[in-house]
Every structure is written in C-alpha cells, then in structure tokens.
Amino acid sequence: MRRRVSFENGEYYHIYNRGVEKREVFSCNSDYFRFLKSLKEFNQTDPVASLYIKEKLGVGPLRKGDELVEIISYCLNLNHFHLILKQLKDGGISEFMKRVSGGYTGYFNFKYKRTGVLFQGRFKSIHVDSSEYLLYLSAYVNGNYIVHGINDKKWKFSSLNNNDKLSDLKSISDQFKDFNDYRKYVYSITEHIREKREEMKKYLLE
C-alpha cells in the first residue's frame, strides 16, 4: 500500500507527508496560509522561481488549463498534511509536490532561522482506484483534523470548511443531497476511523 506508485493522467492519488522526526511544520496561522498559497501558485506548467518573486512582479492569475494537478481535497495539521490530487499533465504530481515542498521548506527555514530538510523524505502516495475509495478517502482527508483530536469543527485548513475555491470538493459533495449531508458523512467516517484506527492503518496514509 505504501510503495511508490506510477502517476497517470486522469487518475486520483492520496498524497501525504509529515515533518522530519514528526516535528511541527505549521507554527502559526500564517504558516498554514502560506502553504495553501503554495498549493495554488505552484500549480502551473510554467516555472515559478519563488512566491516572493511572483508577488513582487505582480504576476496575474493562472490560465485555466495550465494546471499540473486538480486538487480534490486537503487537510493541514500541525505536523503533516493530506491531499487528494488528480494528475492533469505528465509528471504533474511529482513536479507539483517538488515545488510545494521545496518552496515551503525555503520559506519555513528562512522565517525560523533553521537549515536542512523539513519534511520526512519523499511524500507517500496511494492510487485511488475506485469511486467508492475516492469518496471514503475524501471524508478521511477532509476530517483528518478530527481524527487527530483538533476539536474545532470549523478548522479552516481543511477543504471541508474553507470556501477558498482551491479544491474541487464539489465533485464529491454533489453525490449527496446537499453539502450538510456530505459533512455528516465526513463526521461519521472520521468517528469510525478514530475508533478503529489501528485496524485501518494499512488502508490509510499516516
């Protein structure tokens, strides 16, 4: 389940990484927002030197169709993150994650006056090979902050609660009567995972 996979266009993948030695990688709200901005700005076929340079140059919004990946859902926790991505371009996921991880590490190290790697090696990935699995994983990812004991049902660093148009969660939630119905599904799945966490480790990235 945790071996390196071959990424194919049009396919969905669960992506995960955490801080080296399980250290915190988000120390304040501005760190979370910076990572979310990285997810948006680095998702393009054209090279991006750095977010700092891009902000200074005043580069305009991305053109539709230039994205490397489609972000289905995400959740950022204190020492790790989860993403569900659909690859759109050849090599898209690998290039996207290289940019995001490298860019955020540079930002974090500069801000906190540290050196060296921030994340625990290469990101982990699982191919999502069925619509049922995609639905289940979307609930796991969106409610991952609940799984890890963050008792804030409005946790704004999950695509479940953040209406930032960064993710295409609507493609999942449209399978339900309304978004509140999907939200209830997320809560029920995360509660079940909390109860059966040890038994389910082989199916989920942690």
The confidence score (pLDDT) of residue 119 equals 96
Is 6 domain-assigned?
Answer: no
In three-state form (DSSP H/G/I as H, E/B as E, the rest C), the secondary structure along the chain is CCCCCCCCCCCEEEEEEEEHHHCCCCCCHHHHHHHHHHHHHCCCCCCCCCHHHHHHHCCCCCCCCCCCEEEEEEEECCCEEEEEEEECCCCHHHHHHHHHHHHHHHHHHHHHCCCCCCECCCCEEEEECCHHHHHHHHHHHHCHHHHCCCCCCCCCCECCCCCCCCCCCHHHHCCCCCHHHHHHHHHHHHHHHHHCHHHHHHHCCC
Is 3 domain-assigned?
Answer: no
The confidence score (pLDDT) of residue 196 equals 64
| Residues spanned by the domain of 92 | 12-203
**How many structural domains comprise the chain?**
1
Is 133 domain-assigned?
Answer: yes
The confidence score (pLDDT) of residue 134 equals 95
Per-residue pLDDT of the chain (206 residues; tens, 9 = 90+): 444 678 999 999 999 999 999 999 999 999 999 999 999 999 998 776 555 545 543 444 445 558 999 999 999 999 999 999 999 999 999 999 999 999 999 999 999 999 999 999 889 999 999 999 999 999 999 999 998 888 777 899 999 998 778 998 888 999 999 999 999 999 999 888 876 665 555 556 56
Task: Tell me the CATH number at 94.
Answer: 3.30.70.1290
The confidence score (pLDDT) of residue 107 equals 93
Q: How far is CA 117 from CA 17, 35, 83, 109, 140, in A?
A: 13, 16, 20, 9, 27
Is 155 domain-assigned?
Answer: yes
The confidence score (pLDDT) of residue 3 equals 45
- What is the rounded distance in angstroms from the CA atom of residue 174 to the CA atom of residue 15? 23
Residue 117 tokens, joined: 């790697």
The confidence score (pLDDT) of residue 53 equals 46
Residue with tokens 């953040």: 162
Is 87 domain-assigned?
Answer: yes
The confidence score (pLDDT) of residue 152 equals 78
Is 142 domain-assigned?
Answer: yes
Is 126 domain-assigned?
Answer: yes
Is 4 domain-assigned?
Answer: no
- What is the rounded distance in angstroms from the CA atom of residue 19 to the CA atom of residue 79? 5
CB 87 within 8 A of CB 7: yes
Q: How far is CA 98 from CA 5, 16, 47, 125, in A?
A: 16, 13, 12, 14
pTM: 0.86
